[in-house]
Amino acid sequence: MLANIFVNTLIHASVYALLALGFSLTFGVARIINLTHTAFYMLAAYLIFTFVGTLGLNSALAILLSIVLVTIIGMLSYKVIIEPLHEHDTTVLIVTIALALAFQEVMLILFGGHFRGVPSLVKGFVTFLGVRVTNQYLVVIAVLSVILVLVWLLLLKTRLGLAIRVTAQDREVANLMGINVSLMSMVTMGLATMLAATAGALVAPIFILEPRMWLQPLTIVLAIVVLGGLGSLKGSVYGAIIIALVETLVVFLVPMGSFLRGAVSLAIMIIILIIRPEGLFGVSFEGER
Amino acid sequence: MTGYLYHLYQAFKEEILFLPSRLIALVGIIALVLLPLFSQSPYTLKVFTLASIFAILAASWDLLSGFVGQLNLGHALFFGVAAYTSALLNLHYGLSPWMTIPLGALMAVVTGMLVGIPALRLRGQYLSLATLAFPLILTGIIYVFPDFTGGELGVSGLSRLSNSRLADYYITVGLALGLGFLMWKITDSKIGLIFHAIREDEIAVRAAGINTTKYKLLAFAFSGFFAGISGGLYAHVMRLAGPSTLDVFMSFQPIIWTAFGGIATIYGAIIGVYLLYPFMEVLRIVPEYRMLIFAVIIILVLRIMPQGLSPWVIERIQKECPRCKRHNAFTRKTCKACGTSLEKPSLGGDSFKLEVKTSE
Amino acid sequence: MKQKKGLVWIALILLLAFAAAGCGSSGEEPTAKEEVIRVAVAGPMAFVQGEHHWMGAEMAAQEINDAGGIKVGDKNYKYELIKVDTNELMSVSDAATAVERAITEQKADFITGTIRTEAALAIQDVAMDYKKIFMVAGASFIGLADKVEEDYERYKYWFRISPINGNLLAQTSLLLLQDVSKVLREDLNIETPKVALVFEKAQAGDALAAAAQQVVPSFGMEVVGLWRPSPTATDLTAELTAIQDSGAHIIYTYFSAASGVPYAKQWGELQIPAVSVGINVEAQAQGFMAATDGRGNYEYTLNTYGPVEITDKTLPFYNEFIKRNGEYPTYNAGGTYDSLYILKEAIERAGTLDQDAIVVEMEKTDMDSTIGRFVFDEKHDVTWGPGYVTAVGTQWQDGKLVCTWPNGWQGITYPGTVEYKLPPWVVEAYK
């Protein structure tokens, strides 16, 4: 049972972390709660479905193409729709909901409300500590590790990363220092959508495709980033682990209540927030106006 | 007596007829009151009955989130709690809607306090995202006790709000307008001023010696109460209270309506619902594209008018006198009260244009 | 300048809205001037369930109209269908208003369709308010029928066409479970098979959970655990590994919604050494194989249709449906299809379009429908049992849906039934 819990926590945490990283990044740098985030994840999954299923491309090519396309769509939607509204917090929030709804409806019109599947990159399973794990999950874990290293290198070892971090820390000062804040926000948005698209490409074969598939991961992602502290990448990873652990524990300890795993993890989030109002690794907003 | 009437007429002329925005509001209210004269189709009445219920919900969201700035992404919590409370009281204890709706609203107030206390520790985006969680947690709890709550089926077979559609219509329209006016008055009062100040700069308000926690809790209570009335009405009009009243979508809807109509105005929220809800019904002729058109219109409207529809319109049909701050119709050239010219001073016009020369 | 730009945008939006309104209304003009009976086909039209409602109704209406329509006295009527998108999966209030609109604005005389129980309850009340016959083709909740018993005068206009009600579905799925346990005993010598119960968190699942924990041991099996995932769960890996841990030989399922797909996909991918049997509504649909990437092979579910001859109407309907739509029919499609035939006969017997008179004749229905001999019980529900509607068990074998039950149960074997197959990895694990 312990091995089971450990392995399940590990695989779910990596899926959640992959989804949450981009969201957290967008908030940290562009200061935007982008509720469209998981809709980009859905978009990527459907694009791959079209490329592989309808156009007959091979999986790897389809994944690359869809990641590129979704990244472009993400950056465009930021530039055209979100950035001009940047001053109005609530409006941005609503526009991103509306955008996600619009994507959902387009998918519904194009593909109908059918459950679809994307073939896994690698089939079969391995047995790890006596627990069966599908190979697709191993791919997720591997890609996530690579992405974590790459994002870390990008943020800490490059000039672009420096600019992004400065923007994240203080937009106004960054602007005064000659950093193109708007460009940095857009680059971050592109990066974030790319991460969402990657998640779509890797996770979609495990889950199912349907036009409302963005909503459920969205609440999980929100719980993770809030719990970890908005804008903190480290927080997102820890948040993902905590939520995954809670969900797994619910399934294993209270099998009759496994439908409650979402509710329990949200409750844990609330409890942690009551103890630490700015999340585990978030910055206190007390003085900010 | 005639003098008094004349005085009233004068006030009416001054305060309403000469201000296009109030005139529009008056026409809208009259249209709502007279609507049944033109169509008694139960369908039309039902659409506007539901619109009225949601208008209360949207306005109550605006009171808490627009005015006090406590951006609540889980407003369905109040709506759902009240709907379930009303439904259960009606079904198990046979109380009439006149009892269950206020009791449901009180339950929503209690919920508002329960949620408000932990939520007060949270600031800004954390508060929004935490509030999103509450209705989802409650949904989980509802599924745990299916014998009591009906699980995913909800509680059905409730008694009607009244005996006829027409009465339903007038009750809900009357409540929407009355409660809307009440909320607007609240925001216009001293309490409203403090609400507004908390949104703008909470630290400054606290520095002024005002207990902001108390006022924020008050806002949660007010908002919960009005949202609760709307939830109770919904349960009795639909004759059903189910988990769909706690949906994420149910939380998003009032936000969308309010943002469309104009945040932090109360009337904007109400206008937003009365425009968008019937519009969604019109779109039934293209069922496949209904939600898409809805989403695209929201995006376009907010892209052009980030503040929402009504402030945008008011800005164009009314001018504020630069001296005495009175509102004037856009047709006037001078202020009605003090005679100041309302023409925009030509600042920034050609005469002031600065030539910036850059050395190459 | 900025102001003008805004106005242009507004004009564009209005144009868009009117254009949309325009192209929609053109499709709604009444086409025929002859006498028609308007039937509202209500379902979530953007989703597969609603599509099937519509496909089934369209097919029946066409067949009936082509064959001369419906005789009422000496007049001939034709069916005219109204497509009502209830959007019920997203919004229950939408569903109720959509049906009310169909009745009052579009003058629908009868209603068929709907799947989500919460919506069906709301629509039931709307239909009863207007005293219009409402034939459910999808929602299985027994409470809908209980209302007919509780308040007959109000609810007598309600009928269920498909599927059989939730309690009967549960009972019948237990028969499938017994069938599978027999195979395990005979082929793999497992004397007391261990059963893991996986029922989604829904009312029907609650009832089944209570019943199964009592009944399953009496079948000579042992219950090793009960899991209740959410109907919208997207990942059941944790549940599945826990089930494997429990040493179960059989996974007895109840999935009415989305979660049935990832369940079957992950079950097949991980090759959990336990056979899967029960109810998995998604496994009844054509898209199941593709959605599970082929992993759903060997999934065994209770179903309404299979490629077997239940009555002489089944196969013509089944094959014609596949020919027209390229998909297996589901109980949603069959429900609306049968409802139009049942209604036609009732109207013709009544010889009038008076709803109360038709209700009386509906109650006397005794005909072969596509799912068996169709008789309403006193609650206006589908009568189940040998000689009536039994439902069937279908298994996915080599990417095809085949019928494996009833195979000798109460002496019934519908022509075309084949043998149940154990998944090879299960045979491997216990040989």
Q: Is residue A59 helix, strand or coil?
A: helix
CA distance B29 to chain A (A): 28
C-beta of residue A18 within 8 angstroms of C-beta of residue A140? yes
C7 touches B: beta carbon within 8 Å: no
Q: How confident is the model at residue B356 (pLDDT cuts 50, 70, 90)?
A: very low
Q: How many whole angstroms separate alpha carbon C236 and alpha carbon C233?
A: 7
Per CB-CB distance under 8 Å, the chain A contacts of C238 are 4, 8, 12, 247-248, 251-252, 258
B338 lies in a domain? no
C5 lies in a domain? no
A113 touches B: beta carbon within 8 Å: no
CA distances from B262 to B48, B50, B270, B331 (A): 20, 20, 9, 23
Which residue of chain B has the CA closest to A261?
B140
DSSP E strand stretches across B125-216: 155-156
Inspect the interface and report whether the beta carbons of A262 and B126 lie closer than 8 Å: no
Q: Give the pLDDT mean for A73-94.
A: 88
B169 lies in a domain? yes
Q: How many whole angstroms separate alpha carbon A193 and alpha carbon A98?
A: 17
Q: How confident is the model at residue A281 (pLDDT cuts 50, 70, 90)?
A: confident
B33 lies in a domain? yes
Mean pLDDT by 10 residues, chain C (431 residues): 50 52 42 78 91 95 95 91 89 87 93 91 92 94 93 95 90 93 93 94 86 92 94 90 94 91 93 95 90 92 92 94 92 95 95 95 95 95 94 94 92 93 93 82
Range of the domain at B17: 2-328
Inspect the interface and report whether the beta carbons of C235 and A206 lie closer than 8 Å: yes
Let me know the angle formed at the C-alpha of C219 by C214 and C220, rounded to the nearest 5 degrees.
105
C401 touches B: beta carbon within 8 Å: no
The pLDDT value given to residue A216? 87
Residue C283: its H or E element: none
B352 lies in a domain? no
The pLDDT value given to residue C9? 54
The pLDDT value given to residue C420? 94
CA distance C47 to chain B (A): 10
CA distance B161 to chain C (A): 14
Shared domain check, C287 and C186: yes
B252 lies in a domain? yes
Per CB-CB distance under 8 Å, the chain B contacts of C101 are 43, 281, 284
Residue C63: its H or E element: helix C48-66
Q: Is residue B69 helix, strand or coil?
A: coil
Inspect the interface and report whether the beta carbons of C266 and A1 lie closer than 8 Å: no
The pLDDT value given to residue A38? 93
The pLDDT value given to residue C20? 47
Tokens representing residue A270 in the block: 């609330």
Q: How many whole angstroms separate alpha carbon B340 and alpha carbon B324?
A: 9
By percentage, how much of chain A surpasses pLDDT 90?
Answer: 50
Tokens representing residue C395 in the block: 């298994």
CA distances from C152 to B304, C160, C181, C346 (A): 55, 15, 42, 19
Cis link prior to A277 (omega < 30° from 0)?
A: no
Compute the count of residue pairs across chains B and C with CB atoms less than 8 Å apart. Answer: 115
- CATH code of C363's domain: 3.40.50.2300
The pLDDT value given to residue A113? 84
Q: For A90, which of B252, B263, B294 is closest by C-beta distance?
A: B263
Inspect the interface and report whether the beta carbons of B42 and C24 lie closer than 8 Å: no
Q: For C203, which of B152, B289, B296 is closest by C-beta distance?
A: B152
The pLDDT value given to residue A6? 93
Inspect the interface and report whether the beta carbons of B126 and A282 lie closer than 8 Å: yes
B309 lies in a domain? yes
Residues 229-268 on A with a CB inside 8 Å of C are: 247-248, 251-252, 255-259, 261-262
Inspect the interface and report whether the beta carbons of C261 and A208 lie closer than 8 Å: yes
> Among A146, A126, A122, which Cα is nearest to A198's?
A146
Q: Is residue C223 helix, strand or coil?
A: strand
Q: How confident is the model at residue B10 (pLDDT cuts 50, 70, 90)?
A: confident
B292 touches A: beta carbon within 8 Å: yes
| Total domains, chain B | 1
Per CB-CB distance under 8 Å, the chain B contacts of C28 are 285
The pLDDT value given to residue A288? 42
Residues 42-71 on A with a CB inside 8 Å of B are: none
pTM, whole model, 2 decimals?
A: 0.88
Q: For A114, which of C239, C270, C287 is closest by C-beta distance?
A: C287
* Backbone φ, ψ for residue C83 (5° rounding): -85, 115
Q: How many whole angstroms separate alpha carbon A43 and alpha carbon B313?
A: 36
| C246 CB-contact burial (10 Å; exposed 0-12 / middle 13-18 / buried 19+) | middle
Tokens 């207990």 correspond to: B211
C8 lies in a domain? no
A244 lies in a domain? no
Q: Give the pLDDT mean for B288-314.
A: 90
CA distance A241 to chain C (A): 15
Please give the single-letter amino acid code of residue B35: L
* Backbone φ, ψ for residue B184 (5° rounding): -65, -40
Residues 6+ apart with CB under 8 A from C126: C96, C99, C100, C103
- Give me the numbers of helices (H) and strands (E) for chain C, helices first please: 15, 17
A116 lies in a domain? yes
Per CB-CB distance under 8 Å, the chain C contacts of A7 are 241
Residues 214-273 on A with a CB inside 8 Å of B are: 215, 219, 222-223, 225-226, 230, 257, 259-260, 262-264, 266-267, 269-270, 273
Complex ipTM: 0.89
* Alpha helices (runs of H) in chain A, residue ranges in sequence order: 2-30, 37-49, 59-77, 89-111, 135-157, 159-169, 171-176, 181-203, 215-228, 233-253, 261-275
Per CB-CB distance under 8 Å, the chain C contacts of A256 are 226-228
C91 lies in a domain? yes
C-beta of residue B283 within 8 angstroms of C-beta of residue B290? yes
C-alpha torsion angle, residues B34, B38, B40, B43 (rounded to 10)? -100
Range of the domain at C86: 24-163+311-375
Cis link prior to B278 (omega < 30° from 0)?
A: no
Shared domain check, C138 and C116: yes
Residues 290-319 on C with a CB inside 8 Å of B are: none
A249 lies in a domain? no
CB atoms within 10 A of CB C8: 11
Task: List pLDDT tens digits, range A218-240.
Answer: 989 999 998 998 888 889 999 99
Paired sense of beta strands C110-113 and C158-162, if any = unpaired
| C362 CB-contact burial (10 Å; exposed 0-12 / middle 13-18 / buried 19+) | buried
C325 lies in a domain? yes
B356 lies in a domain? no
A187 lies in a domain? yes
Q: How confident is the model at residue A88 (pLDDT cuts 50, 70, 90)?
A: confident
Q: How distant is the alpha carbon of residue C339 from its chain centre?
A: 13
The pLDDT value given to residue A284? 52
Which residue of chain C has the CA closest to B316?
C3
CA distance A283 to chain C (A): 33
Per CB-CB distance under 8 Å, the chain A contacts of C258 are 115, 208, 210
C2 lies in a domain? no
Q: Give the pLDDT mean for A77-95.
A: 87
Candidate ranges A27-36, A123-132, B217-226; pick with highest mean pLDDT: B217-226
The pLDDT value given to residue B104? 96
DSSP E strand stretches across chain B: 155-156, 240-241, 318-320, 327-329
Bridge partners, C79 (sequence order): C37
Q: How many whole angstroms separate alpha carbon C113 and alpha carbon C340?
A: 11
Residues 188-217 on C with a CB inside 8 Å of B are: 201-203, 206
Bridge partners, C367 (sequence order): C374
Range of the domain at A157: 2-211
Q: How many whole angstroms separate alpha carbon B230 and alpha carbon B277?
A: 15
C-beta of residue C242 within 8 angstroms of C-beta of residue C177? no
> Among C126, C122, C51, which Cα is nearest to C328's?
C51
- CATH code of B209's domain: 1.10.3470
Let me know the angle formed at the C-alpha of A225 by A221 and A226, rounded to the nearest 5 degrees.
115
Neighbours of chain A (3+ CB pairs under 8 A): B, C
Shared domain check, C264 and C122: no
CA distance B204 to chain A (A): 10
Neighbours of chain C (3+ CB pairs under 8 A): A, B
The pLDDT value given to residue C94? 84
Q: How confident is the model at residue B359 (pLDDT cuts 50, 70, 90)?
A: very low
| Total domains, chain A | 1
Q: How many whole angstroms separate alpha carbon B89 and alpha carbon B101?
A: 9
B335 lies in a domain? no
Which residues of B lie inside 8 Å of C (Cβ-Cβ)? Answer: 41-43, 46-47, 50, 143, 146, 150-154, 156-157, 234, 238-240, 242-244, 249, 279, 281-291, 293, 296-297, 300-301, 303-305, 312, 316
Task: List pLDDT tens digits, range B80-137.
Answer: 999 999 999 999 999 999 999 999 999 999 999 988 888 778 877 888 888 989 999 9
Shared domain check, C216 and C150: no
Neighbours of chain B (3+ CB pairs under 8 A): A, C
Residue-level length of chain B: 360
| Total domains, chain C | 2
C-beta of residue A63 within 8 angstroms of C-beta of residue A229? no
Inspect the interface and report whether the beta carbons of A115 and C261 lie closer than 8 Å: yes
A76 lies in a domain? yes
DSSP track, B100-149: HHHHHHHHHHHHHHHHHHHHTT--HHHHHHHHHHHHHHHHHHHHH-HHHH
Task: List pLDDT tens digits, range A119-151.
Answer: 888 888 999 888 899 999 999 999 999 999 999
The pLDDT value given to residue C197? 95
C-beta of residue B290 within 8 angstroms of C-beta of residue B327? no
Tokens representing residue A191 in the block: 């990066």
Inspect the interface and report whether the beta carbons of A208 and C48 lie closer than 8 Å: no
Shared domain check, C243 and C176: yes
Which residue of chain C has the CA closest to B41?
C104
The pLDDT value given to residue B23? 86
Q: How confident is the model at residue B184 (pLDDT cuts 50, 70, 90)?
A: very high
Inspect the interface and report whether the beta carbons of C20 and B286 lie closer than 8 Å: yes
A153 touches B: beta carbon within 8 Å: no
> What's the longest Cα–Cα distance across chain B?
85
